[in-house]
Chain A
């Protein structure tokens, strides 16, 4: 079956670095997305990886290893506003030949002063 695993909750200190892991088991691979969701708000896109390696975008970086079915989101120089849930998502091809997105349960990150 299709499955995505993420830690439920993490805590870090302002100014620190935190790594949020995501492991996936899917039939086929078409890329992996990370979204950020603040409490009571819509999820917003952070990053997309389809090839192995690290993609850097400002304070946020995302890493992918297709052979290990593993990704992580790295947040540097943490700020209070980074307190949010981080969702890992993978598009999977369906029996109709189209695709749908499977989401992990999300990792709730608390940044402490």
Chain B
């Protein structure tokens, strides 16, 4: 069974640009959640999609958005990039039906904003 796949692995952008990150979940999983990871803050929850609908949202500005397609693949978009957006962006997949199920993470996209 293939794991969670995130592309690209690395990205370098400049301030003001926008970026789109992609996440393909494990086959059969309908929930995809996104996290921002920085050294000082740990994993911060961005949002979660379940069956093409945003089910939960974290406390991030509207510049951060996402969507999910009918095959459960998800994309995350950040517009008008700021230096502080430099981070590792992780996505995780699960069936999304129970609080006792573990998350399966992708290896992440390392975004650097110059």
Contacts from A to B (Cβ < 8 Å): 30-31, 33, 35, 40-45, 48, 50, 87, 89, 91, 93-94, 96, 98-106
Q: Specify which chain A residues have a CB less than 8 angstroms from the CB of B4 in the assembled complex.
A: 42
Q: Which residue of A lies closest to B44 (CB)?
A: A103
With contacts A42-B90, A105-B41 taken as known, whether A98 is within 8 angstroms of B56 at the C-beta atoms is: yes
- State the CA gap A10–B65 with chains docked (Å): 36
Task: Indicate if the CB atoms of B103 and A45 lie closer than 8 Å.
Answer: yes
Number of B interface residues, CB 8 Å? 24
Q: Specify which chain A residues have a CB less than 8 angstroms from the CB of B103 in the assembled complex.
A: 33, 35, 43, 45, 101
Please classify the interface of chain B as helix (H, G, I), strand (E, B), loop, or mixed, using the class held by over half of its residues: strand
Q: Which residue of B lies closest to A93 (CB)?
A: B99
Interface mask (B34-57 → A, CB under 8 Å = 1, otherwise 0): 010000111111001010000110
